[in-house]
């Protein structure tokens, strides 16, 4: 039992909130010293490439590899018979059907077309609208249909009933009769985009006896290792998995990332190392894409002075999950459900299955497509009611003093959405700039021909379910070194310097060590580190840093125990509670002149401590000083009492100014202000960079990045950066982004940090709403972007 | 990547002889051809690449005999920065400046730019997964019933709806440039006629009418008193091909106009009255139809490209207005 006084006053932070980076991963990447999966066995390995299906639905009847095997340099061909993670039933164009091992990658690629695959083709449904029509071919994903209910939320104020179960619809549609105004809106398919902007997936695998070793780029090496062990029928301790740097691992998250394939290929060639990697096209064909969503949203409101109150909302959201029957489309309406007080509600999310590659979310649990729909609906409603959308939002926000509307026993640890919206409004000068009537303001005429560009501004924001994913399995180890320094280790990959710096800083802060005395050990090695859990953005940062926080508390206890046995503390201090540490020096609390440096304590190298992270976002009870599980800060006040269970979620608001050239449909972002609740900003530079990434990602997704599907085959044909429209600096001038970390001091994780970046999805809808404010029409992205062609279509000019 | 032999040539004649002998193609900057070799997007790839970068003194830019003469190996960056091109063939300098990105302009040559292959999203797909009419005899055009958002608005040539992807081609047509090859001197407008009779072969994949053993040696742009400009609209501001572009060469109230990104070749309009720039825009686009096929369920065509008509009209108007 830890008896130390581990309370932390924010004003006492020495290391946290410090701008310096203490993890040099970024320098390793920039100087070419980072070891990516492909870097192992340079020049001494075979290469594997994957052949993808060219039908969307059917069976593989035969694979004839004889011609491929004749190509000089080809060593082996594998099929579904060798690779248990593959299936002879094809459900999308681009599915893995065979693999080649050759003595160089280009030979492996050249051999792919020589493998002759015979298919028995079945009718496919590749378009989500057609897939749900009667008589549409079944995709083979669900037993009898191409559509299923993925998530619901029902509330009825009169009976005070609520339910998140499809079987228990407590919503009473007659509540709309109590409303002063009812409006219903529909939105077409939102944008689609891939989840793998970075380089293609790759794994290097080799065998030593019965043990298989592999390096891969992966966001969840622990579950990846289990996948490999299961696929190969091996014990976990025979599988040695390492992920040092993510890169290609993004977009696959927990999926196989070519690891089973590489291991099987290596076995086929006598255990020699094989680097199996995807070309960009193969990567795009068979890896994750974002799901698009369309919706119908009906609002009923009651008059409230000069404003209105939401009274009822009945909405349906349809999302295309491709072949992924677990596609997380069930909470597309999370922000609507949680941000606003809506007494009567019926929210239903459907998942449509199509014969197209797997679709998940990117970058957010609270999917941008959902946010785009309901934020647009709120703005549309406000304009129809003659109320400023910003005022309508503020008048209907939930707040921190209220329990959760669906689970009234739970409170929100933090709910600063009002403050964030107000900050976005203040920073952007919204109230002086916003005009209710579209086309009421112009901005600089860049073409000098009297052609006008219309000006628009909008603010959106919401509570975000990001940060709610489980992190309780994540573990960290702190090991004391003989020289008085510490190494921190986990099986998680070093995705970026931000997360790792947060971890080293948390350890330094908790131990009272100098930041430079806490170094990264080997991260990402499952033989050395503890379970990493999924490295999913900043929720990972929170729970992995909480693991290190817990490990550091234990380490502090252990080194203080050593101190008690040594001069100058021996005989002077009797308990670890008599000591404290600062800047790598241990002091006697009651007499600061009695001290010893960590180094001088000479503690040997046998001291290690480990800790587990806690679940972020789920219930956690608050103790009497407002901390949960030893470190999460809470404001204990009249509504959150000691022992109260609280949720911890992120939130954000965005204000966007646009200029729209009505003649060409060209939209220019003039400025974006992103305000994101960080809880405590533990590492300022990292937090702002992370918010910046989110801001750019959603600016990007609004206008550029797009997965293009061939409507006849379902094949992804945007297979390179040009066709996928990856934007450049010229398109997104980062100096036009204002990034604001809003500290609520009231969040999950050690020292109270929050999930950030992903909540910036709100940019996406603020852009769309700002375009409306400029030109008075809503742009339908039609599964692409809010690009000029879509704007012209909306204006009836194309 | 397709396996290939690589041979250095020291003269255009030597290079042309090598082309005549083998299934070969020239490689200049390599920014386009290596892309195809890597992706193996067509069955008609060469077995040998004849390197013409080893030919001496073929990257000049000079004014001579009433022409600006540009060696085929001149880099796009050099053309964009050349003071003589900027002042006397402004549209060409502006077009070169708007190609791709600085890296690609530093490698890419003018010869390669006007001989690059179509950029159709189906044509470029790896492993010839979409064996379309341009690549194989009897092939279909996938864009017609598929994605045609980036395709021709003036109908197809030989059943192909792909557009001319080259920025400089558009400027050269409007400037009435000549293209000197190892066989003859072409008028730019004739040079960019696609050989549709030979679709399904290597020659049919070209965006110009060159023989397979014919090599561009020089571009000649006549020096006149007319002012010119090139404007480009793409989805992104860099590293993007023109969806619509316009080159205008204006002499008094008469203009030579060429549109890019809207047809298989630069779409040329000669002697356009540009006293009223908006009218000139409407006139150039009068015959454009775009591709727009509403779906069977009555929903709009997600891939319709009629937006190009509107954008092109405005760009013609604005380009004229800027001169
Ligand atoms: C990402 C990307 C973006 C791009 N964006 C644009 C753009 O915006 N606008 C644009 O116009 N282009 C664009 N391009 C195309 C690029 O500009 C051209 O590829 C470049 O100019 C080609 O020049 P090169 O010297 O590299 O040609 P290479 O790749 O060497 O050759 C291209 C083709 O031309 C042939 N060829 C080369 N020289 C000659 C010659 N002298 N005579 C006969 N045949 C010859 C080759 O055989 C080959 O078929 C882009 C390319 C990429 C990869
Ligand atoms: S537009 Fe031309 S290049 Fe594209 S698919 Fe059709 S025929 Fe092939």
Q: What is the mean pLDDT of residues A324-335?
A: 89
* Any atom of ligand 1 within 6 Å of the Cβ of B100: yes
The model's confidence at residue A629, banded by pLDDT at 50, 70 and 90, is very low
DSSP letter at A388 equals -
Q: Poorest-confidence range of A121-135, A197-211, B188-202?
A: A197-211
Tokens of A388: 């400023």
pLDDT at A619: 45
**Quick check: A539 and A471 in contact, CB under 8 A?**
yes
The model's confidence at residue A637, banded by pLDDT at 50, 70 and 90, is low
Q: Which residues of B touch A718 (CB under 8 A)?
A: 121
Q: Distance from A153 to chain B by nearest Cα, in Å?
A: 30
A787/B235 touch (CB, cutoff 8 Å), yes or no:
yes
Q: What is the mean pLDDT of residues A372-400?
A: 95
**Quick check: A99 and A47 in contact, CB under 8 A?**
no
Is the per-residue pLDDT at A472 higher than 60?
no
Q: Which residues of B touch A704 (CB under 8 A)?
A: 235-236
* Any atom of ligand 1 within 6 Å of the Cβ of B28: yes
pLDDT at A189: 94
Is the per-residue pLDDT at A135 higher than 80?
yes
| CA B26 to ligand 1: nearest atom | 47
**First vs last Cα of chain A: how many Å apart?**
71
Tokens of A571: 């005989």
- Nearest chain A residue to B128 by CA distance is A113
Nearest to B146 among A133, A710, A793 (CB): A710
Q: How many CB atoms lie within 10 A of CB A436?
A: 12
Strand positions, DSSP E, A84-219: 89-90, 96-102, 116-121, 147-156, 161-163, 181-187, 202-208, 211-216
B314/A710 touch (CB, cutoff 8 Å), yes or no:
no
Give how far Cα A30 sits from Cα of A25, A26, A208, A243, A328, Å: 9, 6, 33, 18, 35
Q: Distance from B266 to chain A by nearest Cα, in Å?
A: 21
Helix and strand totals (H; E) in chain A: 17, 35
Q: Is B290 left (phi over 0), alpha (psi -120 to 50) or beta?
A: left
CB-based contact, B125 to chain A, within 8 Å: yes
The model's confidence at residue A254, banded by pLDDT at 50, 70 and 90, is low
| CA B33 to ligand 1: nearest atom | 29
Q: Cα(B245)–Cα(B260) distance, rounded to whole angstroms?
A: 5
- Nearest chain B residue to A109 by CA distance is B1
What are the residue ranges spanned by the domains of chain A? Answer: 10-34+470-612, 46-122+201-277, 128-189+290-383, 397-468+647-794
* A668: helix, strand or coil: strand
- Single pTM value for the model: 0.93
Between B58 and A402, the higher pLDDT residue: B58
pLDDT at A185: 97
Give the number of residues written for chain A. Answer: 798
Report pLDDT digits (tens) over A652-677: 899 999 999 999 999 999 999 999 88
Give how far Cα A302 sits from Cα of A48, A155, A460, B24, B322, Å: 63, 17, 22, 75, 54
H or E element in which residue A459 lies: strand A453-464
Report, as ranges of residue numbers, the positions in chain B whose pLDDT lies below 50.
none
* Any atom of ligand 2 within 6 Å of the Cβ of B204: no
Q: Which residues of A touch B132 (CB under 8 A)?
A: none
Tokens of A736: 């036009």
DSSP letter at A200 equals P
Q: Cα(A785)–Cα(B174) distance, rounded to whole angstroms?
A: 33
The model's confidence at residue A740, banded by pLDDT at 50, 70 and 90, is very high
Strands A579-582 and A585-588: antiparallel
Q: Is A562 left (phi over 0), alpha (psi -120 to 50) or beta?
A: alpha
Q: How many CB atoms lie within 10 A of CB A534?
A: 23
Q: Which residues contact A435 (CB under 8 A, 6 or more apart)?
A: A441, A773
B318/A449 touch (CB, cutoff 8 Å), yes or no:
yes
Q: State which of A450-459, A703-712, B74-83 shows the largest mean pLDDT.
A: B74-83
pLDDT at A549: 85
pLDDT at B155: 97
B1/A109 touch (CB, cutoff 8 Å), yes or no:
yes
- What is the CA(B265)–ligand 2 centre distance, in A? 14
Taking domain A397-468+647-794, whether its CATH number is 3.30.365.10 is answered by: yes
Exposure string of A74-103, with b = 16+ CB inside 10 Å and e = fewer, is bbbbbbbebbebbeeebbbbbbbbbbbbbe
Tokens of A373: 């729909």
At which residue do the structure tokens 């599964």 appear? Answer: A783
Question: How high is the mean pLDDT of chain A?
Answer: 86
Strand order of the β-sheet with A650-661 is A442-443, A453-464, A650-661, A667-679, A737-743
Residue nearest to atom 6 of ligand 1 (CA): B100
Nearest to A704 among B236, B307, B317 (CB): B236
Is the per-residue pLDDT at A194 higher than 90?
no
At which residue do the structure tokens 């965005």 appear? Answer: A654
Q: Which residues of B touch A793 (CB under 8 A)?
A: 300, 304, 307
Q: Which of B128, B314, B317, B320 to mutate to test the interface with A (most CBs of A within 10 A)?
A: B314
Is the per-residue pLDDT at A624 higher than 50?
no
Q: Measured in whole angstroms, how far is the alpha carbon of residue A219 from the centre of its chain?
A: 11
| CA B132 to ligand 2: nearest atom | 8
Indicate the Cα dihedral angle A53, A54, A56, A62, nearest 10°. Answer: -60
The model's confidence at residue A288, banded by pLDDT at 50, 70 and 90, is confident
In this structure, what CATH number is given to the domain that contains residue B35? Answer: 3.30.465.10
pLDDT at A280: 79
Q: Cα(A587)–Cα(A170) distance, rounded to whole angstroms?
A: 62
**Quick check: B113 and B100 in contact, CB under 8 A?**
no
Q: How many CB atoms lie within 10 A of CB A564?
A: 17
The model's confidence at residue A539, banded by pLDDT at 50, 70 and 90, is low
Q: What is the mean pLDDT of residues A64-76?
A: 98
Residues 144-173 in B contacting A (C-alpha not used; CB under 8 Å): 145-147, 149
Cis? peptide before A410, omega within 30° of 0: no
- What is the CA(B110)–ligand 1 centre distance, in A? 8
Q: Cα(A101)–Cα(A81) distance, rounded to whole angstroms?
A: 16
Strands A591-597 and A585-588: antiparallel
Residues 185-224 in B contacting A (C-alpha not used; CB under 8 Å): none
Q: What is the mean pLDDT of residues A705-722?
A: 91
The model's confidence at residue A2, banded by pLDDT at 50, 70 and 90, is very low
Report pLDDT digits (tens) over A558-594: 999 999 999 999 999 999 999 999 999 999 999 999 9
Overall number of domains in chain B: 1
Nearest to B237 among A133, A281, A728 (CB): A728
At which residue do the structure tokens 């009555």 appear? Answer: B298
pLDDT at A257: 73
Q: Which of B277, B302, B312 to mutate to test the interface with A (most CBs of A within 10 A)?
A: B302
Is the per-residue pLDDT at A542 higher than 80?
no
Q: Cα(A483)–Cα(A481) distance, rounded to whole angstroms?
A: 5
Q: What is the mean pLDDT of residues A274-298?
A: 87
Q: Poorest-confidence range of A130-134, A252-256, A521-525, B78-82?
A: A252-256
Q: Cα(B232)–Cα(A323) distance, rounded to whole angstroms?
A: 39
Residue nearest to atom 6 of ligand 2 (CA): B141
H or E element in which residue B102 lies: helix B102-107
| CA B72 to ligand 1: nearest atom | 41
* Residue A107 burial (C-beta neighbours within 10 Å; 0-12, 13-18, 19+): buried
* Any atom of ligand 1 within 6 Å of the Cβ of B167: yes
- What is the CA(B107)–ligand 1 centre distance, in A? 9
According to CATH, the topology of domain A46-122+201-277 is Aldehyde Oxidoreductase; domain 3 (3.90.1170)
H or E element in which residue B96 lies: helix B90-97
Strands A289-290 and A359-360: parallel
pLDDT at A625: 43
Q: Cα(A706)–Cα(A611) distance, rounded to whole angstroms?
A: 41
Q: Which CATH architecture has domain A128-189+290-383?
A: 2-Layer Sandwich (3.30)
B127/A792 touch (CB, cutoff 8 Å), yes or no:
no
Report pLDDT digits (tens) over A76-123: 999 999 999 899 999 999 999 999 999 999 999 999 999 999 999 999
Q: Distance from B223 to chain A by nearest Cα, in Å?
A: 28
Strand positions, DSSP E, B201-243: 216-222, 227-233
Q: Which of B32, B126, B288, B300 to mutate to test the interface with A (most CBs of A within 10 A)?
A: B126
Helix and strand totals (H; E) in chain B: 12, 12
* Any atom of ligand 2 within 6 Å of the Cβ of B194: no
Query: What is the greatest pairwise CA distance in chain A?
Result: 88
pLDDT at B134: 97
Q: Cα(A430)–Cα(A390) distance, rounded to whole angstroms?
A: 9
Residue nearest to atom 11 of ligand 1 (CA): B166
Q: Which residues of B touch A783 (CB under 8 A)?
A: 302
pLDDT at A498: 72
Say if the ipTM goes beyond 0.90: yes
* Residue A277 burial (C-beta neighbours within 10 Å; 0-12, 13-18, 19+): buried
Query: What is the greatest pairwise CA distance in chain B?
Result: 62
pLDDT at A628: 44
Q: Which has the closest alpha carbon to A539: A740, A364, A361, A741?
A: A364
**Quick check: A225 and A260 in contact, CB under 8 A?**
no
Q: Cα(A347)–Cα(A334) distance, rounded to whole angstroms?
A: 10
| CA B135 to ligand 2: nearest atom | 8
According to CATH, the topology of domain A10-34+470-612 is Aldehyde Oxidoreductase; domain 4 (3.30.365)
At which residue do the structure tokens 């200049």 appear? Answer: B28
Give how far Cα A335 sits from Cα of A266, A332, A360, A365, A460, Å: 47, 8, 18, 10, 11
């Amino acid at each position: 039992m830890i008896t130390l006084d581990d309370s932390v006053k924010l004003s006492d932070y020495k290391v946290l909130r410090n701008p310096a980076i203490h993890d040099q991963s970024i320098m390793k990447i920039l100087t070419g010293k980072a070891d990516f999966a492909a870097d192992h066995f340079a020049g001494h390995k075979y290469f594997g490439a994957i052949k993808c299906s060219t039908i969307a639905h059917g069976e593989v009847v035969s694979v004839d590899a004889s011609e491929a095997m004749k190509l000089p340099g080809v060593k082996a061909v594998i099929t579904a018979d060798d690779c248990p993670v593959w299936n002879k039933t094809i459900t999308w164009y681009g599915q893995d059907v065979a693999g080649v091992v050759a003595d160089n990658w280009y030979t492996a690629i050249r051999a792919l077309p020589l493998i002759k695959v015979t298919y028995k083709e079945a009718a496919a449904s590749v378009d989500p609208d057609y897939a749900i029509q009667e008589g549409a071919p079944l995709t083979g994903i669900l037993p009898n249909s191409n559509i299923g209910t993925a998530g619901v939320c029902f509330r009825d104020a009169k009976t005070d009933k609520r339910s998140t179960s499809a079987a228990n619809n407590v919503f009473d549609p007659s509540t709309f009769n109590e409303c002063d105004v009812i409006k219903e809106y529909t939105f077409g398919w939102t944008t689609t985009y891939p989840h793998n902007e970075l380089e293609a997936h790759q794994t290097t695998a080799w065998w030593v006896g019965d043990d298989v070793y592999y390096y891969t780029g992966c966001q969840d090496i622990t579950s990846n290792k289990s996948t490999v062990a299961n696929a190969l029928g091996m014990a976990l301790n025979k599988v040695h998995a390492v992920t040092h740097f993510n890169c290609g691992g993004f977009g696959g998250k927990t999926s196989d990332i070519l690891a089973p394939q590489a291991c099987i290929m290596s076995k086929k060639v006598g255990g020699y190392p094989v680097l199996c990697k995807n070309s960009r096209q193969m990567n795009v064909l068979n890896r994750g894409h974002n799901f698009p969503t369309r919706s119908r949203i009906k609002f009923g409101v009651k008059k409230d002075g000069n404003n209105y109150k939401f009274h009822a909302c009945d909405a349906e959201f349809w999302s295309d999950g491709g072949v992924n029957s677990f596609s997380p489309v069930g909470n597309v309406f999370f922000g609507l459900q949680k941000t606003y007080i809506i007494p009567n509600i019926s929210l239903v999310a459907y998942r449509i299955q199509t014969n197209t590659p797997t679709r998940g979310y990117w970058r957010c649990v609270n999917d941008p497509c959902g946010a785009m729909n309901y934020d647009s609906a709120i703005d549309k409603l406000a304009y129809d009611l003659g109320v400023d959308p910003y005022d309508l939002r503020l008048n209907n926000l939930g707040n921190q003093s209220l329990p959760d509307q669906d689970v009234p026993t739970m409170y929100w640890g933090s709910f600063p959405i009002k403050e964030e919206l107000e900050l976005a409004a203040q920073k952007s000068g919204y109230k002086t700039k916003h005009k209710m009537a579209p086309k009421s303001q112009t901005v600089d005429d860049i073409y000098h021909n009297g052609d006008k560009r219309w000006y628009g501004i909008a603010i959106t924001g919401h509570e975000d379910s990001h940060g709610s994913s489980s992190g309780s399995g994540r573990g960290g180890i702190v090991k004391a070194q003989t020289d008085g320094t510490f190494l921190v280790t986990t099986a998680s990959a070093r995705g970026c310097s931000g997360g790792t710096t947060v971890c080293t800083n948390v350890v330094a802060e908790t131990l009272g060590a100098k930041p430079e005395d806490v170094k990264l050990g080997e991260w990402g090695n499952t033989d050395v580190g503890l379970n990493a859990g999924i490295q999913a953005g900043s929720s990972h940062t929170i729970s992995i840093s909480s693991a290190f926080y817990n490990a550091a508390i234990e380490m502090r206890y252990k080194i203080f125990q050593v101190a008690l046995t040594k001069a100058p503390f021996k005989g002077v201090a009797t308990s670890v509670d008599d000591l404290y540490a600062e800047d790598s020096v241990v002091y006697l609390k009651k007499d600061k002149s009695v001290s010893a440096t960590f180094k001088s304590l000479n503690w040997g190298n046998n001291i290690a401590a480990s800790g587990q992270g806690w679940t972020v976002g789920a219930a956690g009870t608050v103790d009497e000083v407002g901390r949960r599980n030893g470190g999460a800060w809470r404001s204990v006040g009249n509504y959150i009492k000691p022992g109260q269970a609280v949720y911890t979620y992120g939130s954000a608001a965005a204000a966007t100014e646009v200029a729209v050239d009505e003649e060409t449909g060209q939209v220019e972002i003039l400025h974006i202000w992103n305000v994101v609740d960080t809880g405590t900003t533990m590492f300022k530079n990292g937090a702002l960079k992370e918010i910046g990434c989110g801001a750019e990602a959603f600016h990007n997704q609004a206008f550029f990045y797009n997965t293009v599907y061939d409507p006849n085959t379902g094949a992804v044909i945007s297979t390179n950066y040009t066709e996928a429209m990856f934007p450049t600096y010229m398109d997104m001038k980062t100096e036009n982004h204002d990034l604001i970390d809003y500290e609520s001091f009231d969040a999950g994780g050690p020292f109270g940090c929050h999930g950030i970046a992903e909540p910036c999805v709100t940019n996406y809808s603020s852009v769309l709403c700002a375009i409306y404010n400029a030109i008075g029409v809503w742009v339908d992205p039609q599964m692409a972007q809010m690009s000029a062609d879509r704007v012209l279509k909306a204006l009836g000019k194309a | 990547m397709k396996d290939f032999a690589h041979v250095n040539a020291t003269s255009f004649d030597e290079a042309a002889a090598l082309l005549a002998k083998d299934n070969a193609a020239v490689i200049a900057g390599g920014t386009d051809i290596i892309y195809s070799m890597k992706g193996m997007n067509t069955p008609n790839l060469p077995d040998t690449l004849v390197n013409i970068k080893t030919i001496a003194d073929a990257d000049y830019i000079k004014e001579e005999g009433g022409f600006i003469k540009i060696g085929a190996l001149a880099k796009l960056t050099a053309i964009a920065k050349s003071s003589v091109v900027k002042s006397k063939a402004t549209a060409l300098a502006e077009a070169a400046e708007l190609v791709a990105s600085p890296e690609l302009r530093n490698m890419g040559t003018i010869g390669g730019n006007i001989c690059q292959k179509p950029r159709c999203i189906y044509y470029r797909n790896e492993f010839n997964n979409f064996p379309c009419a341009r690549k194989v005899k009897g092939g279909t055009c996938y864009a017609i019933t598929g994605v045609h958002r980036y395709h021709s608005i003036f109908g197809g040539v030989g059943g192909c709806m792909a557009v001319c992807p080259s920025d400089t081609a558009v400027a050269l047509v409007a400037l009435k440039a000549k293209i000197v090859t190892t066989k003859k001197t072409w008028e730019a407008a004739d040079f960019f006629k696609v050989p549709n009779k030979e679709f399904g072969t290597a020659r049919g994949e070209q965006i110009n009418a060159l023989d397979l053993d014919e090599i561009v040696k020089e571009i000649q742009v006549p020096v006149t008193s007319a002012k010119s400009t090139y404007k480009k609209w793409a989805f992104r501001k860099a590293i993007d091909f023109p969806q619509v572009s316009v080159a205008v060469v204006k002499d008094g109230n008469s203009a030579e106009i060429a549109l890019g990104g809207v047809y298989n070749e630069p779409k040329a309009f000669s002697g356009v009255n540009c006293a009223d720039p908006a009218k000139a825009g409407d006139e150039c686009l009068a015959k454009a139809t775009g591709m727009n096929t509403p779906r069977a369920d009555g929903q709009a065509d997600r891939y319709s490209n009629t937006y190009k008509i509107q954008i092109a009209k405005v760009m013609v108007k604005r380009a004229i207005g800027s001169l």
